[in-house]
Amino acid sequence: MPPLSDITTFVKHAAYDAGFELAGIAPGRDFPELDRFTDWIGAGHAGEMKYMEARNEIGQLKRASLRSTIPWARSVIVCAINYNTAQPLSTQVTDPKRGWISRYAWGRDDYHQTVLKKLRRVDAALKQYCNDVRLMNAESESPDKHPLPADELQTRYYVDTGPLVERVYAKYAGVGWIGKNTCILNQKIGSWLFLGVILTSLELEADLPAPDRCGSCTRCIDACPTDALIAPYQLDSNKCISYLTIEKRGAIPEEIRGAMGRHAFGCDICQDVCPWNRKAPATTAAEFQPREGLVNPALDWLAEMTGDEFQQTFHGSAVRRAKRSGLRRNAVIAMGNSGEPHFKPVLDHLTKDEDPIVAENAHWSQQKLSRG
């Protein structure tokens, strides 16, 4: 009969077969970093992302305690996939007429779907393996049975939406360390990684946590244009361009618009400047290759996009999260920050836009360009 370590090896291989570059196992425990999550919510750093504040039956923040929220989860299988493609960094392109869509959102499909599909394969392989072992156990005359728990195997898999802080489990699964920019960094691959997790009732062999290799570096903190990294390992979403351009609905506070630069969707700066990404390998996987026009797109194209064009361009894409209104709002702010008089006529037109948020931002941008 295969020992328990064989299931662990099997599941990691199933992850590699499904296309993940990295896979590791964390115990289904509550780790000290999770206290930080409670502090983070308490300080209001989640902004308007109310789903982060969901509580379990005993009133605890769900994401702060996997033990209380999903007590049957004895192990967390953490899988990671590299989405970096051979394209310039946001810090390398400077044309003021063009904006920036974050690297993670260029691909053919929304990453949630891409990663979930792969997790489903790993989950199915694990279930099949356990069934096969049970059958073998049942048919075996030997007293030396495989040590599978007697209760039915339970699993659940998530990308983003599960009641856990994925990066904490990625650290304890040895996938990478939590950098001062709060991202998971792998020594060989860097941080252009999507994470996916499978919670399981199996007690698998855990990996060792990845050691912190940030050292005395503070490049990400120094480079963040909005000072959203308020201290090492701490991010205030209210100031983060990624949050402002993707999650924030309605008006963006005026005092922060100027620092948003030419970001139209998401932000990559704190990863672009990270020395561990200097040699980050580029994937050739078809699903992550950029859709036409999304790398460094023209700002006026985004700002004037019709409903039909938005549907066509972003069908099934992660960019849909910002909605057409949010994307146009962001592009209009970026035009104001561009210093490009070329945009003045377009902005004049957009001050009369039927979307009041777009119109108000166009007015702001027009004034900013006039001030020079």
Binds 214, which of ligand B12, ligand SF4, none (CB < 5 to 8 A, cut-off by type)?
ligand SF4
Applying the rule CB under 6 A, the residues between 207 and 226 that interact with ligand SF4 are 214, 217-220, 224, 226
User: Residue 33 or 355: which CB sits closer to ligand B12?
Assistant: 33
Tell whether residue 230 is a contact of ligand SF4 (CB under 6 A): no
Q: Which residue is nearest to ligand B12 (CB)?
A: 266
Tell whether residue 102 is a contact of ligand B12 (CB under 6 A): yes
Instruction: Pick one of 18, 70, 198, 240: the residue that binds ligand B12 (CB under 6 A).
Output: 240
- The secondary structure of the chain, three-state, reads CCCHHHHHHHHHHHHHHHCCCEEEEEECCCCCHHHHHHHHHHCCCCCCCHHHHCECCCCCEHHHCHHHHCCCCCEEEEEEEECCCCCCCCCCCCCCCECEECHHHCCCCCHHHHHHHHHHHHHHHHHHHHHHHHHHHHHCCCCCCCCCCCCCCCEEEECCCCCCCHHHHHHHCCCCEECCCCCEEECCCECCEEEEEEEECCCCCCCCCCCCCCCCCCHHHHHCCCCCEEECCEECHHHCHHHHHHHCCCCCCHHHHHHHCCEEECCCHHHHCCHHHCCCCCCCCHHHCCCCCCCCCEHHHHHCCCHHHHHHHHCCCHHHHHHHHHHHHHHHHHHHHCCCHHHHHHHHHHCCCCCHHHHHHHHHHHHHHHHC
The minimum distance between CB 346 and ligand SF4, in angstroms, equals 26
Tell whether residue 241 is a contact of ligand SF4 (CB under 6 A): yes
Q: Is residue 160 among the annotated active site residues?
A: yes
Binding mask 125-164 for ligand SF4 (x = CB under 6 A): ----------------------------------------
Applying the rule CB under 6 A, the residues between 164 and 203 that interact with ligand SF4 are 179-181, 185
The minimum distance between CB 307 and ligand B12, in angstroms, equals 24
- Among 160, 212, 272, 355, the one annotated catalytic: 160
List interacting residues with ligand SF4 (CB under 6 A): 179-181, 185, 214, 217-220, 224, 226, 228-229, 235, 240-242, 267, 269-270, 273-276
Among all residues, which ones are annotated catalytic?
A: 160
